[in-house]
Structure 1
Amino acid sequence: MTDRVVLEGRGLVVGYGGRPIITGLDIALLENEVLCLIGHNGAGKSTLLKTLFGLLRPSAGEVRVDDAPVDDAEPRALVAKGLAMVPEGRSVFPSLTVGETLRMAMWATGLPRHEQRVRIEWVLDILPAITEFLHRRAGTLSGGQQQMVSIGRALLSRPRILLLDEPSIGLAPKLFQDLLQPIRQLQKTDGLSILLVEQNVREALKISDRVVVMKSGAMIWEGVPSDLEDNRKLMELY
């Protein structure tokens, strides 16, 4: 981890139908770190990730990548800058096979055909379990397998900044760790920067370098995982 900021939100104000969800929020993701964002339901965590990835437009403030404002905040433009996002709920197409899902993702990101086989092999090296169900329809997979496909799909663009929204939903703690440990290893070897939104706080802190707590659309605390070893401190923040 370095002190160089790769993704930043400055003074963000975001809402739906004129109702603010995020109010004047600042957040910075550093190069080669896992930043864990936690907070109660409705705090605005998913709204923040969607804003950082260009799925929502802030009514005030700005998103910056590599200390430069993002003029075109559409997801495709952000993918070109090295961002990828794993949305909450996995969002797989149940009627497609896993292989078809991955090929469609490469087409959507404009990856040249001659690079596609190598890119899939790279993802399968990181998440080798996908090989076992590559030809199965995504709708027949378990929750953990679907989440693995969703992460693999995001990795196909070889991002340097990865946004993960609630990847543990419906997963047992061990399966959650089995899923994220290869991503943590990739982060260490390739310098990947990860912003992880997670409700399973204890498991998420095991792979995080830094933690921020969000409440009612604002950041209320920042520290390191060891600061939250005392459950009383964690309960105070919630």
Structure 2
Amino acid sequence: MSMAASATPALAARGITAGYGGRAVLAGVDLALGAGEVLSLIGHNGAGKSTLLRVLFGLHRATAGEIRLDDRPIPPDPAAMAAAGVAFVPEGRGVFPGLTVAENFTLALWSARLEGREAKARIEEVLGVLPAIAGFYGRRAGTLSGGQQQMVSIGRALLSRPRILLLDEPSIGLAPKTFQELLRPLRTVQRARGMAVLLVEQNIAEAFAISDRVAVLKSGRIVFAGVPADLADHARLMALF
């Protein structure tokens, strides 16, 4: 089943096939993320959700299909995607545990070639969105709780002011309240900036609460595309898994 946003998509997958060691994980996936929208990608474990995000960011090579950015084909590569305004927050946080939060941020700013007043402004901006980070800004990331590390990982991605944010399972290991405290400010900044967000998430209720659209991936194929209200019937939702 094909899925396309109503306007020219900010980021799109066209006929993506990918796998590992000869085993197919994605089988001709079409997915379009509209500019300024939040799209939730859900599905059972092993459906290929994380693989698709990795392919979109250039961390895993597709065997067929193409990635399009602003409706133009682009060979996905992490450096090229970052330069084009795409940020990726991987499953498992991905912070550097031996570095302080401040050093994690400094490294991200250096990678984005931001320094001086602009770098300071970006840090202040992120701390305004996620003020709790200020309370552990000088601590090593490896000593933080799972929720704090996830906050740092998202904050680090926001430093570059991405126009497209790929989020892979941000709720893993987090209490529901902690996850809500992450999602609310993220939705606020997303709306303020017109940022597009592709969210892979198992916490369906919380994901749907901030999403404009939803897609269901099953066994490497998109089997449903619509709005969260379409899946308000729990039986219908479970039938898609």
TM-score by length of 2: 0.95
Aligned pair partner of 2:81 in 71, 78, 82? 78
Asked if residue 60 in structure 1 is aligned to residue 67 in structure 2, the reply is: no
Aligned pair partner of 2:17 in 4, 8, 13? 13
- Alignment deviations for residues 217-237 of structure 1 (CA, whole Å, 9 cap, x no partner): 100001111111111111111
Asked if residue 158 in structure 1 is aligned to residue 161 in structure 2, the reply is: yes
Map of 2:147 onto structure 1? 144
Q: Which runs of 5+ in 2 are unaligned?
A: none
Map of 1:102 onto structure 2? 105
Give the deviation of 1:2 after TM superposition.
6.6
What is the one-letter code of the residue matched to 2:238? M
SS across alignment from 1:234? helix
Q: Give the RMSD, CA atoms, in angstroms.
A: 1.2
Map of 1:216 onto structure 2? 219
> Quick one: structure 1 residues 224 and 149, their matched pair in 2 at CA, closer, same or farther if it must change by over 3 Å?
same
Map of 2:7 onto structure 1? 3
Asked if residue 38 in structure 1 is aligned to residue 33 in structure 2, the reply is: no
- Alignment deviations for residues 133-180 of structure 1 (CA, whole Å, 9 cap, x no partner): 000111111111000000001111110000000000011112111101
What is the one-letter code of the residue matched to 1:66? D
Give the deviation of 1:114 after TM superposition.
4.4
Map of 1:202 onto structure 2? 205
Give the deviation of 1:115 after TM superposition.
2.1
Q: Which runs of 5+ in 1 are unaligned?
A: none
Q: How many residues align?
A: 237
Distance in 1 (alpha carbons) for counterparts of 2:26 and 2:233: 28
Distance in 1 (alpha carbons) for counterparts of 2:117 and 2:163: 22
Give the deviation of 1:109 after TM superposition.
2.5
Give the deviation of 1:113 after TM superposition.
4.1
Contact 1:214 1:221 (8 Å CA) reproduced: yes
Contact 1:2 1:31 (8 Å CA) reproduced: no
Map of 1:183 onto structure 2? 186
Map of 1:115 onto structure 2? 118
